[in-house]
Amino acid sequence: MVPEILRGPMVILGTIAAIIASQALITGAFTLVSEASRLDLMPHLQLIYPSSTKGQIYIPMVNYSLWALCLLVIFYFQTSERMEAAYGLSITITMLMTTVLLFVYLHKLKQRIILPYIFLLFFGGTEVFFFMSSLSKFMHGGYIALLIAFVLFLIMVIWYRGTRLEKEQLVKLPLKHYVPLFDRMREDQKIYKIADNLVFLTHSQEESLIDRDVLYSIFDRGSKRANVYWFVTVSVTDDPYTLEYSAQKLETDYIFRVHLYLGFKVEQRVNIYLRQIVDDLIESGELAPQNSNYSIYGEQNVGSFRFCMIHKHLVPESDISVVDRLMISMKYAIRHFAGSPAKWYGLENTSLIIENVPLFVKMKHTSKLSRIQQEKPIQ
């Protein structure tokens, strides 16, 4: 496109433009994935904040995915000429979607009546003609851009529908109704005590209510006996270096609700912070000392810890449609590849229990077995 004498400067200029465009792509991808996670449209991924500004984020999983996709696209097309079709079609669709989103914003949020339609008619009409002319590029490489977009859209649909199904079965129970059961289990010496402090990480904000899955894990999945039970919720604040917590007794002196408020640049080492909280409560007299005589560090006032994280799974007896079953199964498969929550909370080197509990949806009716008599006794 340019004379031979200008080819060198144009290559340099094109390289600089590519770097700027790649930076815009990376920043946009990080922002969109972060917001999609907040809206429960994508799995929650590990976020890293490289500066003291919350808006500047780095998502390792997204960065590696972009790197892999860029390599695959380059190996597939091999030359920029073959990439023109995919690039042109994707740009046209992006322009059209931006126009539609801005129309919705002006019409729904700004409550404008006439202006949004004028905007949509002028810009949208022009972009529709571009889109129609670009459809001819579909079989010349444009399908690659649509395929990538379809995969991302499919992930969002699966995650959104799977989350809705989980929320539909979510049941929160009043803790005070189960305190007598806690008392009996703590006093039953025949049950093995798994730790001095048993910690559950929850997302519930209600202080007096507990997720049914947590109680099911404690009582129905092996009777988890401990001296003290902790239900911990972690919230990330807008301040980069917040280090605060609240701790409240729940009905007894051995059940505590803890809320950690951590800045977005603070590493979420829940095990370290919780040990400090236990030490503070012992000093204030709100918690009895947990003397530990067997430690390489000498006598300790804080006892042992076990952390429990609950993962749900779909049992074959669940009475749900084939589509919903597929959505749930695919969501759990996506969650498996999204990363380990234990690592996000700094629990990878702790005594950790990964508890798999069934997703409590309506169960299918099962027929009752009938006993028959053996004709001949077993010799």
Reported confidence tier of residue 363, pLDDT bands at 50, 70, 90: low
- Specify the higher pLDDT residue, 71 or 364: 71
Q: What is the CA radius of gyration of the chain?
A: 28
The two structure tokens encoding residue 33: 């994935």
**pLDDT digit string (tens) for 219-245?**
888 888 988 999 998 888 888 888 899
The two structure tokens encoding residue 349: 């080197």
Strand-pair category, 209-211 with 172-174: antiparallel
**Best CA proximity match to 307, nearest among 202, 165, 156:** 202
The residues pairing with 308 across neighbouring beta strands, listed in sequence order, are 200, 353
**pLDDT digit string (tens) for 27-50?**
888 888 888 888 888 888 888 887
Quick count: other Cβ atoms within 10 Å of Cβ 157? 13
Indicate whether 310 pLDDT > 80.
yes
The two structure tokens encoding residue 365: 């009716």
In whole angstroms, what is the distance from residue 187 CA to residue 208 CA?
A: 23
The answer to whether residues 271 and 350 touch, using CB atoms and an 8 Å cutoff, is yes
DSSP-based helix, strand, coil % in the chain, nearest 5: 50, 15, 30
CA dihedral (131, 136, 138, 142) positive or negative: negative
Q: Per-residue pLDDT averaged across 87-93, rounded?
A: 83
Q: Per-residue pLDDT averaged across 117-130, rounded?
A: 88
Provide the whole-model pTM. 0.76
Per-residue pLDDT at 296: 67
The answer to whether residues 55 and 26 touch, using CB atoms and an 8 Å cutoff, is no
Indicate whether 361 pLDDT > 70.
no
The answer to whether residues 251 and 258 touch, using CB atoms and an 8 Å cutoff, is no
Lowest mean pLDDT, pick from 87-101, 204-218, 241-255 = 204-218
**DSSP-derived secondary structure for 22-59:** HHHHHHHHHHHHHHHHHTTSS-----B--SS-TT--B-
3 state SS of 320: coil
Which parts of 160-254 are beta strand (E)? Answer: 172-174, 193-201, 209-211, 225-237, 243-249
**pLDDT digit string (tens) for 164-182?**
888 877 788 888 888 889 8
DSSP structural state of residue 118 = H
- Specify the higher pLDDT residue, 276 or 302: 276
**pLDDT digit string (tens) for 251-299?**
788 899 999 998 887 888 888 899 899 888 988 888 888 877 666 666 6
Distances (CA, A) of 166 to 122, 175, 225, 287: 43, 21, 28, 35
**pLDDT digit string (tens) for 326-346?**
888 888 888 878 777 777 777
Q: If residue 220 lies in a helix (H) or strand (E), which one and from where to where?
A: none
The two structure tokens encoding residue 192: 């093995």
Indicate whether 16 pLDDT > 90.
yes
The two structure tokens encoding residue 237: 């604040």
Indicate whether 378 pLDDT > 70.
no
| φ, ψ of residue 248 in degrees (nearest 5) | -140, 135
Torsion of CA 101, 104, 110, 115, to 10 degrees: 100
